[in-house]
Structure 1
Amino acid sequence: MDYINRPPGKLISRQAMTLPATATPDSVDIINCCVPYWDERKFISAGGQYKIGLGYYIPKDAYLHDFEEWLPRKWQYRGEPPVPVLLPDMLPSSVWEANLRHMLSDEEWDRLRKFCYQAAGNTCVACGSRGEPHIEAHEAWSFDERTGIQKLKALLSLCPTCHKAKHLGFAQRIGLLPQVLDRLKWLNDWDDEMLKTELAKVQARQEELSKRNWTLDLSFLRTYGVR
């Protein structure tokens, strides 16, 4: 079996890089990388490549350690046992209908999401897709059970399929749950039983978070000039 080196001295099977037919990002021959425009020269100097229509990428037989800072999470070394690349959100039921886009002006939201896309080189930070056909911004939150604070931690650039994997209820409502579950299995190297186990954990965590009210902390936005 063909293997690719992972840092430090770790190996990942090329077989694990094969995508299911229902969840295929742009190419099976290359890895698209999350390269902001300010890192272009550094990426190219390291041996990365760029083509119009493909964006920044490396061949899948490249030594991935040289490009670790730009790799989508799927291709990063994730420890032993590997941590998941992507998990569905565990948002409490009290905030299911709330989202950052509706809290901000159109101008503020556009500025935030466009910077999010630029920082990831208009690439999905989870799977490396160039967007299928566009990129979306996803809000990442943390929950402090001691203080009751729900804190905005980051905005993530995700393709539509990976974004729906963060919102399984929405994926189910629009009839795309099978494709989204396939994406979760591929991203995280799960079989059906592991998928079932992990989703049960997510549901249990969500139910626990829903037992209380949460206070929003949006201080993260000050970094981008939003008060």
Structure 2
Amino acid sequence: MAVERIWLDVPFAEKNAAKAGGARWDGTARRWYAPRAGMADLERWTPGADIPELLPGEDRSLGGGLFVDLVPSSCWFTNVRSCVAQKDWDRLRRTIYDRAGNRCEACGAGQDREAKRWLEAHERWTYDDATQVQTLKRLICLCTDCHTVTHFGFAQIRGLAPQARAHLMKVTRMTGAQADLHIASAFDLWQARSRIAWTLDLSMLTAVGITLAPPPDAAARADVARRTLADEAGAGPSSGLPRQSGVSARAEAARRSG
């Protein structure tokens, strides 16, 4: 007799409690479920309303392909995921993966456990210099490798810059010189945008009933970024933000000769 599956939204930190309450894990769907209706101990993980495939105001044509997309340092580690409850984040990312056919929207790769390649949700933003508002306009499904390229500054800190550069060249078919120019230009834009304390507009999410925890105010975000980077790098509090010099000497040379 087929088992009735009632899917659940269980944050990773609560998986043991869900299991103790009778939840079971589906390794293929990578999701917890209740084996039958009426299990009171699992009610708190019952999914909320479905999230529409196209979020209100979302522009799915924005930011296609693979490119270095550096988030201003004033907004590091205060991104969408940090503002959304884990249960809502799981619902949101599942929608993003499903509509992408569980494939990376930049290179087409799927999840590969042996290769340690996963699917991840990435934010695409627009920036209004006049109003100093940074608006969430798209959520895109990227694989781990493409996501590492996208956050190239963070890749530097983790010692993954050479691999990220190679993956950028492989997917986009850029030459080494073209890749270095692209990375250098991305860092120039990042430096300019990092001088601004942006106001975040996440109305694309609140319009579908997702409750947001307010991020730290703009003045506090740079300190959050520095402290988090120090922890990630295993360094002391004096650890700085990524520097363009970490890209490679070739990038600077290419930029000056271009």
Q: TM-score, structure 2 length as denominator?
A: 0.53
Matched, 1:156 2:140: yes
Is 1:116–1:157's contact at 8 Å kept on the other side of the alignment?
yes
Is 1:150–1:217's contact at 8 Å kept on the other side of the alignment?
yes
Deviations 1:68-123 (A, max 9, x none): xxxxxxxxxxxxxxx98211123211112212111111111111111001010111
Is 2:66–2:107's contact at 8 Å kept on the other side of the alignment?
no
Matched, 1:89 2:65: no
Paired with 1:84 and 1:152, the residues of 2 have a C-alpha distance of 15
Give the residue type in structure 1 aligned to 2:169: K
Alignment of 1:13-52 (within 5 A): none
Give the residue type in structure 1 aligned to 2:144: P
Paired with 2:156 and 2:186, the residues of 1 have a C-alpha distance of 16
Matched, 1:180 2:164: yes
Instruction: Name the counterpart of 1:108.
Output: 88
Give the residue type in structure 2 aligned to 1:177: A
Paired with 2:195 and 2:143, the residues of 1 have a C-alpha distance of 31
RMSD over aligned Cα, in angstroms?
Answer: 1.9
Paired with 1:224 and 1:183, the residues of 2 have a C-alpha distance of 35
Specify the structure having the higher radius of gyration (Cα): 2
Is 1:131–1:158's contact at 8 Å kept on the other side of the alignment?
no
Is 1:86–1:188's contact at 8 Å kept on the other side of the alignment?
yes
SS at match of 1:143: strand
Is 1:140–1:154's contact at 8 Å kept on the other side of the alignment?
yes
Instruction: Name the counterpart of 2:154.
Output: 170
Paired with 2:165 and 2:64, the residues of 1 have a C-alpha distance of 14
Unaligned runs of 5+ in 2: 1-27, 29-62, 212-258
SS at match of 2:81: helix
Is 1:132–1:160's contact at 8 Å kept on the other side of the alignment?
no
Paired with 2:145 and 2:105, the residues of 1 have a C-alpha distance of 12
Paired with 1:206 and 1:171, the residues of 2 have a C-alpha distance of 15
* Percentage of pairs with the same residue: 38
Unaligned runs of 5+ in 1: 1-52, 54-82
Give the residue type in structure 1 aligned to 2:138: A
Q: TM-score, structure 1 length as denominator?
A: 0.60
Paired with 1:147 and 1:121, the residues of 2 have a C-alpha distance of 36
SS at match of 1:91: coil
Paired with 2:133 and 2:64, the residues of 1 have a C-alpha distance of 24
Paired with 2:104 and 2:164, the residues of 1 have a C-alpha distance of 15
Paired with 2:98 and 2:64, the residues of 1 have a C-alpha distance of 24
**How many residues are treated as equivalent by the alignment?**
146
Instruction: Name the counterpart of 2:45.
Output: none
By how many angstroms is 1:223 displaced? 4.8
When residues 114 and 223 of structure 1 are mapped into structure 2, their CA distance, relative to the original with a 3 A threshold, is farther
Paired with 1:140 and 1:171, the residues of 2 have a C-alpha distance of 18
Is 1:142–1:150's contact at 8 Å kept on the other side of the alignment?
yes
SS at match of 1:181: helix
